[in-house]
């Protein structure tokens, strides 16, 4: 189930070695791609024990695969967690982590500054399934607390938001969640465990789109759910029957009775029920690609972050830029939070605004013209890639949000998201400089706004 090794090791060693011990017959030094749908049993008795979850072992790759297992162990160790489940995408990781906590008639409190696909999941599909979600401003602690209901089963937020790069006060939101008796689930996609171990600040479960920085090269979708091992589901057993009551899929009673001492009942539930029943499994090939990426996580993220800060400073000084949303800038409301929660640097995903006219079509046209002048920075709906990428959230990733939701998330039609890659930062800045040359100045934008009003 991806339980981490007990041997303590540093981050850089774990990202290269955790989860894998050479020793299979072929003695490969690198975790091999176990491209096999299923696994041969030594005997029917062994098969019976494996199906009854009486022992760990390989059955069928929808449920578990040895290459995927290495990834699970490695990410769990990097997060300081006890176990992980790797799945086919970040979207699946978010969905399954929350489904394992809240069912029909129950409730989740979520930040309203979320990736657009997560908003779609929570407000649309979860609503169809009778799981209610209250969205709150993640910086408003009273709002988190007042949203709590007797049926609340989780708090959910991104530690660094996509696209505005707001930095969550993880400790304060974790404390509020724990006072309500529920776990804090953190989407750590943008932060990665290199920039922040959410466990150090009270989070209980993390989810990742491994598609982004963990893989890092834009080749493979994947997601990971990590149990940080901090939340005591047995403290209020009546609230978590899925873990504390008899679980028909294992013979020895509840998941807590079966896995409480040796593993993660929560990850066992994610895998044996939700991955097994719904089927969003990670392929061995993608797990292999993500493992390759992970080996250089610290080097890449340090470079991504340093370059991004340089780009943010350049943009802030540029006359065609109205505002830069980067938490390490002095102008950012999240500067103190970044200093506390992201001492190794903020992420390379952040946004900036061109000067706006207030007219959606005019502002879209200015964004379109800017993007069309870029050569090094590519127009791609992704983040965390070795390549520098730009996106226009209002018309792309967040296009399903209402105008009010966009406003609440701090996204305007003038907002452009950047994910700064690993190219030479001088080339990235030169490219942005060239593209900004034709963008409206503050005076030109306000003249256009005035003309539109007349
Ligand atoms: C913060 C965040 N969480 C989750 C996801 C979903 O991940 P995936 O695209 O791997 O399904 C994304 C994708 O952009 C994301 O940015």
pLDDT in tens, 266-304: 999 999 999 999 999 999 999 999 999 999 999 999 999
Q: Are 149 and 107 in contact (CB under 8 A)?
A: yes
Report the nearest-CA residue for atom 16 of ligand 1.
115
Element containing residue 430 per DSSP (H, E): helix 425-436
Cis peptide before 355 (omega within 30 of 0): no
Query: In whole angstroms, what is the distance from residue 326 CA to residue 351 CA?
Result: 7
Which 8-state DSSP code applies to residue 132? E
Please say whether the dihedral angle defined by the alpha carbons of residues 260, 223, 186 and 101, taken in this order, is positive or negative: negative
* pLDDT for position 453: 67
Q: Are 15 and 71 in contact (CB under 8 A)?
A: no
Query: In whole angstroms, what is the distance from residue 374 CA to residue 362 CA?
Result: 19
* pLDDT for position 24: 66
pLDDT in tens, 168-192: 999 999 999 999 999 999 999 999 9
CA of 303 to the centre of ligand 1 (A): 21
Report the nearest-CA residue for atom 15 of ligand 1.
115
Residue 162 CB less than 6 A away from ligand 1: yes
Q: Stretch 225-248: mean pLDDT, rounded?
A: 96
Report the nearest-CA residue for atom 9 of ligand 1.
90
Query: Is CATH 3.40.1010.10 what the domain over 11-294 is classified as, yes or no?
Result: no
Highest CATH level, class, for 298-453: alpha beta
**Who's near 292: CB < 8 A, 6+ residues apart?**
217
Query: In whole angstroms, what is the distance from residue 377 CA to residue 431 CA?
Result: 7
Residue 425 CB less than 6 A away from ligand 1: no
Q: Stretch 52-70: mean pLDDT, rounded?
A: 92
Query: In whole angstroms, what is the distance from residue 260 CA to residue 233 CA?
Result: 10
Residue 33 CB less than 6 A away from ligand 1: no
Q: Which token pair is 438?
A: 């034709």
Radius of gyration of the chain (CA): 23
Q: Is 87 helix (H, G, I), strand (E, B) or coil?
A: strand
CA of 384 to the centre of ligand 1 (A): 10
Q: Stretch 379-387: mean pLDDT, rounded?
A: 97
Does position 1 have pLDDT exceeding 50, yes or no?
no
Residue 352 CB less than 6 A away from ligand 1: no
* pLDDT for position 445: 83
Closest ligand 1 atom number to CA of residue 114: 1
For the chain, the domains span: 11-294, 298-453
* pLDDT for position 446: 82
Find residue 416's DSSP bridge partners: 352
CA of 377 to the centre of ligand 1 (A): 20
* pLDDT for position 386: 98
Maximum C-alpha span of the chain:
83
Compute CA distances 327 → 113, 167, 185, 271, 409, whole Å. Answer: 15, 7, 22, 36, 15
């Amino acid at each position: 189930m991806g339980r981490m090794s007990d041997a303590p090791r540093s981050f850089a060693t774990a990202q290269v070695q955790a989860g894998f011990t050479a020793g299979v017959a072929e003695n490969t030094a690198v975790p091999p791609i176990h491209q096999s749908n299923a696994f041969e049993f030594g005997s029917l008795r062994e098969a019976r024990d494996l199906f009854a979850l009486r022992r760990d072992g390989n059955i069928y790759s929808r449920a578990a695969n040895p290459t995927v297992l290495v990834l699970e162990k490695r990410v769990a160790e990097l997060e300081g967690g006890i176990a992980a489940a790797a799945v086919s995408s970040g979207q699946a990781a978010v969905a399954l982590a929350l489904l394992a906590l809240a069912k029909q008639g129950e409730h989740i409190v979520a930040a309203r500054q979320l990736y657009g696909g997560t908003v779609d999941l929570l407000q649309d599909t979860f609503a169809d399934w009778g799981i209610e979600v209250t969205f709150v401003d993640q910086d408003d602690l009273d709002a988190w607390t007042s949203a709590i209901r007797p049926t609340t089963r989780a708090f959910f937020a991104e530690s660094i938001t996509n696209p505005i790069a707001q930095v969550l006060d993880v400790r304060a939101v974790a404390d509020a969640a724990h006072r309500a008796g529920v776990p804090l689930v953190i989407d750590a996609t943008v932060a990665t465990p290199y920039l922040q171990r959410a466990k150090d600040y009270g989070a209980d479960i993390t989810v990742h789109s491994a598609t982004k920085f963990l893989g890092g090269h834009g080749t493979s979708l994947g997601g990971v759910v990590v149990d940080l091992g901090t939340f005591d589901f047995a403290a209020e057993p009546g609230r978590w029957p899925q873990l504390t009551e008899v679980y028909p899929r294992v013979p020895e009673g509840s998941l807590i009775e079966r896995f409480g001492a040796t593993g993660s009942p929560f990850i066992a539930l994610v895998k044996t029920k939700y991955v097994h029943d719904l089927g969003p499994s990670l392929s061995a090939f993608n797990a292999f690609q993500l493992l390759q990426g992970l080996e250089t996580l610290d080097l890449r993220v340090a470079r991504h972050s340093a370059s991004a800060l340089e780009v943010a400073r350049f943009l802030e000084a540029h006359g065609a830029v109205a505002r830069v949303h980067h938490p390490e800038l002095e102008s950012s409301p999240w500067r103190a939070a970044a200093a506390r929660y992201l001492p190794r640097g903020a992420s390379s995903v952040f946004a900036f605004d061109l000067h706006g006219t207030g007219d959606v079509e005019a502002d879209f046209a200015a964004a379109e013209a800017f993007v069309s002048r870029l050569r090094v920075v590519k127009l791609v709906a992704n983040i965390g890639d070795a390549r520098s990428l730009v996106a226009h959230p209002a018309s792309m990733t967040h296009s399903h949000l209402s105008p009010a939701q966009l406003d609440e998330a701090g996204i305007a039609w003038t907002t452009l998201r950047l994910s700064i890659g690993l190219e030479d930062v001088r080339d990235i800045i030169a490219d942005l400089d060239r593209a900004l040359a034709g963008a409206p100045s503050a005076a030109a934008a306000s003249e256009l706004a005035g003309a539109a009003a007349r």
